[in-house]
Amino acid sequence: MYAAAIAALSVTAAQPAAAQSNYDARFVAYPSYNGTDLELLVDGSGTHFKLWSPTAEAARVNLYDNGRTGAPYKTLEMTINPSNGVWSASLPERLYGKFYTFQIQNNGKWLDETPGVWAKAVGVNGKRAAIIDFASTNPEGWNSDKGPAVKNFSDVILYEMHHRDMSLHPSSGIANKGKFLALTERGTVSPQGLATGIDHLKELGVTHVHILPSYDYNSVDEANLPANQYNWGYDPQNYNAPEGSYSTNPSDPATRVREMKQMIKALHDAGIGVVMDVVYNHTAENDGSNFSLTAPGYYYRHREDGSWSDASGCGNETASDREQMANFIVNSVKYWADEYHVDGFRFDLMAIHDTETMNRVARELKQIRPDIFVYGEGWTAGDSPLAVERRALKENVSKMKDIAVFSDDIRDAVKGHYSNAEDRGFASGKPGNEETVKIGIVAATAHPQVDYKKGNNSKFPYAGSPEMIVNYVSCHDDLTLTDKLRKSMPDATDAERLAVAKLAQTIVFTSQGTPFMFAGEEVFRDKKGVHNSYKSPDSINAIDWNQKATYKDQFDYYKNLIALRKAHPAFRMTSAADIAKNLKFDKIDSRKQPNLISYSLLNNANGDQWAEIKVIFNGAPAAQTVSVKGGNWIVVARDGKIDPAGLGSSQGGKIEVAPYSALILARE
């Protein structure tokens, strides 16, 4: 009976595309398994292997003495449970220190070996899975380790960083350059004696680091380190094991696990949470991926003609709407949250996934820890067979409880469109973006004074809550803000660009929602104008920490801006109703005063100690005059300076706002 089922369901990964057409519906008949013991369990009775591969004709485990070379010293034949498609094999010994691979027989052919899709520890370059005692990888105090408590997502301040970028430059003062351990080093300084690394993060005041992919990825040869091999890591290989090139010994599977935990604990000890960038939407390889070699065809979407669907722009896209893939995504993030104490997850190209799976992700993570933060890119890089209404798009974010999306509205309106280097935005002098900036200010929620019909990217209020929105002007993708301003303002001075950068970030950090910044922009970091530096050398990507002294004024502004947001809950409202009630835009004729936005946060908004906060943005290249009602005002920000304690006082009336700057006033 089961042989007949195999014949009916079997799909060969290597068969011609035309032969694969119209087979996707068959996968619905696949049994699924949601146990936590895939693919390895070591207990008092020995070592147990399990592999989900319902259409395999046979399966086996190959056991090795090391993680890279040599023939297997033993091969175990596996047996299947037809009810769930899981193959099993066991040995009475606890095989700590050994390595293994799986192989399946498909259409009479043994496919290549794979560590399986659930490998939690791997040898060098991730081709063989490792058997280790995870309890032995826990740093001292791990059982009591936890990240900072988060009451509301709007309280989070995100700082996106890459391990090598933060520490590789000679000026970092960090010994473990490019490694997990770089963020365990305290007391590191630049040549000018200014804090770098984890001390810099603490000084800046961010609440969470968003680390670029740190699972085992495909593009860096871990067997030939140290080498100037760079990649962002958006080419997944083993989703549940740390990347070896970030460890001090990639050949030792336990080292990479232990050192990643040490990094997370050091950040937690400094009061900083850890968000992990996850890329479940595609794999580095197609037919050669662990998914394809385990359950051919199942884990991916295909077009009607049988070719690979490619909403990721990377050659394939995974099928989160299939039960076993959804199980994989959910159990994988739960594993990272539980084993590594990760505090949040950023989903790459999240709209490739379906809203049902994303809701399940958030729901099950909340059972581990209620304040885990989940957010992602609410778009795809291409079309997908998944129905638009099921995609985890930003436009569908209100269908997803406890999920946030990036705001491309505020990003493109403030600095200029990401795809056109020469395009300017509101903060750099281009008129016509005022209404879209307002969409960002109210976190894409419904507001009686915001006309969504005039929005550049969005035409309706798609967020039901500000906690569904992450605001930013730049990230690892595309040009840094510094490079964008140099490209779009070629005749400006760096002093003018620095002013624009301050204004852009002031808009982000005073808007409702969750603010996000890219590492190093507080020291005017650039990437030599490289638009997409995912595999550029460290000379392009590494942060030059000498710039912290050069641009100390910029750093101090960012630090004080963060302190202002933390001190005043008016910038961190938690409901759309509160925003509509307490945030009031002033009437400004944009034909007469382009690039000018003025609004008030009123009536002790969100329990703030200030009765009213007046926020004014002038993105024009010339000074503009605004009218502020009379009263005793504290000047919080003016002329490129900011201080939450106040820069002086004002009685209101006619006030001139400098070009490319923010004016923030407050009344007790």
pLDDT at 21 over 70: no
pLDDT at 1 over 90: no
Q: State the average pLDDT over residues 377-388.
A: 96
Among the options 277, 310, 317, 377, which is catalytic? 377
What DSSP assignment string belongs to 424-439?
A: --GGGT-TT-HHHHHH
Residue 309: DSSP 8-state: P
Q: Report the SS3 class of residue 514.
A: strand
Name the residue type at position 283: T
The top-level CATH class assigned to 31-137 is: mainly beta
Architecture of domain 153-572 in CATH?
A: Alpha-Beta Barrel (3.20)
Q: State the average pLDDT over residues 450-470.
A: 96
Instruction: Provide the pLDDT confidence category of residue 26 given band limits of 50, 70 and 90.
Output: confident
| 252 belongs to the catalytic site | no
CA distance 619 to 595: 5
b/e burial code for range 184-197 (CB count within 10 A of at least 16 → b):
bbeebbbeeebbbb
- Cβ atoms of residues 465 and 657 within 8 Å: no
Residue with the larger pLDDT of the pair 109 and 5: 109
Q: Report the SS3 class of residue 421.
A: coil
Please identify which residue in the block is written with the tokens 């808007």: 511
Choose the weakest-confidence range: 184-198, 277-291, 296-310: 296-310
Which two three-digit tokens encode residue 48? 């147990």
Q: Report the SS3 class of residue 460.
A: coil
Q: Report the SS3 class of residue 114.
A: strand
pLDDT in tens, 204-242: 999 999 999 999 999 999 998 877 789 999 999 999 999
pLDDT in tens, 491-514: 999 999 999 999 999 999 999 999
Q: What is the mean pLDDT of the chain?
A: 94
Q: Report the SS3 class of residue 410.
A: helix
The superfamily in CATH containing domain 582-667 is Golgi alpha-mannosidase II (2.60.40.1180)
pLDDT in tens, 595-652: 999 999 997 777 889 999 999 999 999 999 999 999 999 999 999 999 999 999 999 9
Q: Report the SS3 class of residue 591.
A: coil
Instruction: Provide the pLDDT confidence category of residue 29 given band limits of 50, 70 and 90.
Output: confident
CA distance 489 to 375: 32
Query: What is the model's pLDDT at position 395?
Result: 97
**HSE-up of residue 62 (Cα within 13 Å, Cβ side):** 21
Residues 6+ apart with CB under 8 A from 407: 394, 439, 440, 443, 444, 469, 470, 471, 472, 513
Residue 65: DSSP 8-state: S
Query: What is the model's pLDDT at position 89?
Result: 98
Q: Report the SS3 class of residue 89.
A: strand
CATH topology match: 153-572 vs 582-667 = no
Greatest CA span in the chain, whole angstroms?
Answer: 86
Domain range annotation of the chain: 31-137, 153-572, 582-667
Whole-angstrom Cα Rg for the chain: 26
- Cβ atoms of residues 10 and 55 within 8 Å: yes
Query: What is the model's pLDDT at position 16?
Result: 36
- Cβ atoms of residues 124 and 72 within 8 Å: no
pLDDT in tens, 388-423: 999 999 999 999 989 999 999 999 999 999 999 999
Which two three-digit tokens encode residue 505? 């970030």
ω into 253 cis (within 30 of 0): no
Residue 113: DSSP 8-state: P
Query: What is the model's pLDDT at position 488?
Result: 98
- Cβ atoms of residues 180 and 243 within 8 Å: no
| 522 belongs to the catalytic site | no
What DSSP assignment string belongs to 206-220?
A: -SEEEE---EEESSS
pLDDT in tens, 118-166: 999 999 999 999 999 999 999 999 999 999 999 999 999 999 999 999 9
CA distance 216 to 125: 8
CA distance 34 to 328: 8
Query: What is the model's pLDDT at position 645?
Result: 96
pLDDT at 13 over 60: no
pLDDT in tens, 84-100: 999 999 999 999 999 99
Closest CA to 586 of 492, 657, 521: 657
Judge if pTM exceeds 0.75: yes
CA distance 304 to 389: 20
Among the options 39, 165, 348, 395, which is catalytic? 348
pLDDT at 5 over 90: no
